[in-house]
Amino acid sequence: MSLVGKKAPLFTAKAIINGNEIVDDFSIEDLIGKKEIVLFFYPKDFTFVCPTEILAFQEMLPEFEKRNVAVIGVSTDTENSHLAWLSTPKKQGGIEGVTYPLVADVAKTIAANYGVLGGDWDYNDSGELVFDGAPIAFRGTFLIDKEGIVRHEYINFFPLGRNINDTLRIVDAWQFTQEHGEVCPANWEEGKDTMKETRESVAEYLSTH
């Protein structure tokens, strides 16, 4: 079930912050009321598609910060795995230089609560508890507003890397609607026309585009 329009599940977990510091009690609740949050899940450390996304978020981090948006990454790896990957140079497949928080969802409860865990526990024919699927996170992306409400989400299967530019576009669209009370049509980007939520204004917009 979609989380859009609902309270984002809160969590407290171990994380790496500033690229080199382990904290035991990182919580998104500390950001509620202060910033909007882009929370993204990725499958595994030390893989191939994941570092391209993580480094792309880092490259665009100044743009998110300029919009008062916090970026947080989550996977089911341990905090020690995160730290080792953060300490590995990019030329060796690492993500050295990433400064936003990477959360360790070792218990897989955060991914499960956000609906992005790649499987679930079940019993087989012998009555044994087994995991059906992949016990790692899909590539889920969530925009959480300052009140802690999820305003956007999308989830990709493991091989499909996400578009970080489009995540920033969604942030811009959301912030524009909040500031101006207008809505953003298909393929809207910052600087393009928006429309009022009336039948007449929609008709006028469609007739001129």
What amino acid positions are annotated as catalytic residues? 50
Alpha-carbon span 147 to 35, nearest angstrom: 9
DSSP letters of 138-198? -EEEEEE-TTSBEEEEEEE-TT----HHHHHHHHHHHHHHHHH--B--TT--TTS--B-SS
User: Could you tell me which of 69, 65, 73 has the C-alpha nearest to residue 178?
Assistant: 69
Is 24 strand, coil or helix?
Answer: strand
Alpha-carbon span 36 to 69, nearest angstrom: 5
DSSP letters of 69-129? EEEEEEESS-HHHHHHHHTS-GGGT--TT--S-EEE-TTSHHHHHTT-EEEEEEE-TTS-E
